[in-house]
A = this chain, B = another copy of it.
Amino acid sequence: MLKLHHYTLSSASRFARLALGEYRVGMALIDEKPWLRREEFLKLNPAGVLPVLIENDGPPVCGVGPIMEYLDETRGYAMGDRRLMPDHPYARAEMRRLCEWFFLKCEAEVTEFLVREKVMKRESGSGSPDTGIMRAARGNLKIHLTYVDHLLSERNWIAGDRLSYADLAAGAHISCLDYLDEMDWSAHPNTREWYARIKSRPCFRPILADKVLSLPPSKTYANLDF
């Protein structure tokens, strides 16, 4: 039995949900509001970072990078063609580079800002959105999507010929940004075509049903034809 401590609009949490979904592993979701810094949660992960995965009575697996590797080590080998990690060390390095692109760079330059300004501030009652920060994050988003479009002009999936963790990392971020109505699909046709493919996978269904109280999703968020 797996328990996942997550937050609905945390892109790292969504990545873990998508990976578990692709591997068809059931999980119990435990909602964490990151801004509350709940004491019981900090005991599990002193860094206070989501997601945290617990398998049976085992120790917590803390953070999106360690969870990705843990799932490969405990499930990957058995998945055959559906393994989310490529076989060759070079291909794995390229996949990990792109995962870190989203986990660290896209998070720090785009997603974290927009989720905080548009949702977390409202949910935590800590002031109104800073339009300057949102403008900067939107400028950064254009650069990120241009890069994704460029990758997908040369590849079928984000890190190569096959679906991998890198697609789930990108999908986790883009799904949060799509929820917030921040995606300009017309300017990024390759990204749109790729997202239509990944969005229709069964692992995306629970994500597309997500709702946060303070803000409904964009109109086409849950549509497979957008």
Contact = CB atoms under 8 A, between A and B. Distances in A.
Interface of A: 45-47, 49, 58-59, 61-63, 65-67, 69-70, 73-74, 89-90, 92-94, 96-97, 100-101, 104-105, 147
A46 B69 CA distance: 24
A59 B93 contact: yes
Given A46-B147, A66-B100, A61 B93 contact: yes
A66 B104 contact: no
14 contacts: A47-B100, A47-B105, A58-B90, A61-B90, A61-B93, A63-B100, A65-B65, A65-B96, A65-B100, A66-B96, A69-B69, A69-B92, A70-B92, A73-B92
A63 B103 CA distance: 13
Contacts of A104: 104
Given A58-B90, A70-B89, A47 B101 contact: yes
* Chief secondary structure at chain A's binding surface: helix
This protein's copies in its complex:
2
Contacts of A74: 89
Contacts of A65: 65, 96, 100
A67 B61 CA distance: 21
A45 to B, nearest CB: 8
Given A46-B147, A105-B47, A62 B92 contact: no
A47 B59 CA distance: 33
A74 B90 CA distance: 10
Contacts of A147: 46
Nearest to A48: B105
A93 B47 CA distance: 14
